[in-house]
Structure 1
Amino acid sequence: MNADVQRFFDAVPEASKSYFKQMHALVMELYPEATSAISYGIPIYKAKSGWVGLGFWKDGVSIYTNGPGHLAEFKAKHPKIKGGKGSLNFKNSEPLPLADLKLIIVHAIEHPKDA
């Protein structure tokens, strides 16, 4: 992990740190060869020809992809989880659906053009 990414990790609030670490670990478990760097103000993990980004906010953590196609299956299964066009926001007060997050990460990394 480079120094910029480490500084980002160090800045994650205690309330969000556990979820952020779990999401980081999931990306690295699936793609141990992934490289990470800060882009657009967040850590972006690149592997093969795809990427995912992780971020935090006051009450939770977020995952970012390059488009809604990576999130369609997840959003159908979890319609109450809010997000943007290519992102999802997870509140610290709600369970983190790690098994289903794997689908997003794999889809974004393996099929980057299917956004």
Structure 2
Amino acid sequence: MIEKAPTTIDEFMSGFPATTQVILERLRRLISKLAPEATEAIAYGIPTFRLNGNLVHFSALKNHIGFYPTPSAIEAFKEELQQYRTSKGAVQFPLDRPIPYDLIERMVKFRVNEQRKKAV
């Protein structure tokens, strides 16, 4: 049986345990607060916020939250991200440690600034 891919962030989040859903919803609200003009979507199968293009993506896996703020944000915050597994455009926040919402907030603000400049 082929499972239907989620088409909304609510559908995406509903497939996770309640404790993970709480984290995902907090991320969603944080991003919405920092970028109220951004739109929600599912892109690449995961929650996405768009503001003059892709702003950030996030997801959940068995052991971590995936946060995808683009390579520019990973580079800009590389010192603060040293304790986490990163790749060119992604960071993994382990579920067995506190989620660094303050760091995520700064990264989202950085990306909002980048994307607003694109509109000019």
What residue identity is the alignment partner of 1:12?
F
Change (3 A) 1:41 1:49: closer
Aligned to 2:113: 110
Match of 2:93 among 90, 93, 97: 90
Any idea what the Cα deviations from partners look like across 1:25-55, whole Å, max 9, x if unmatched? 1101111222111110111101245510011
Corresponding residue of 1:61? 65
Using the size of structure 2 for normalisation, the TM-score is 0.79
- Helix, strand or coil at the partner of 1:94: coil
Query: Which residue identity does 2:11 align to in structure 1?
Result: R
Q: For this pair of structures, how many residues does the alignment match?
A: 111
Q: Does 1:36 align with 2:15?
A: no
Unpaired runs of 5+ residues, structure 2, are: 1-6
Specify the code of the residue in structure 2 equivalent to 1:65. Answer: P
TM (norm. structure 1) is: 0.82
SS in 1 for 2:30: helix
Output one character per residue of 1:84-108: Cα deviation in whole Å (capped at 9) or x when no partner: 2111111111111111111211122
Bigger radius of gyration: 2
Q: Percent identity?
A: 23
From the superposition, tell whether residues 36 and 11 of structure 1 become closer, same or farther in structure 2 (CA, over 3 Å): same
Whether contact under 8 Å (1:63, 1:87) holds in the other structure is yes
Partner of residue 101, structure 1? 104
- For CA contacts below 8 A with separation 6 or more, give which structure has more relative contact order: 1
Q: Please, which runs of 5 or more residues in structure 1 have no aligned partner?
A: none
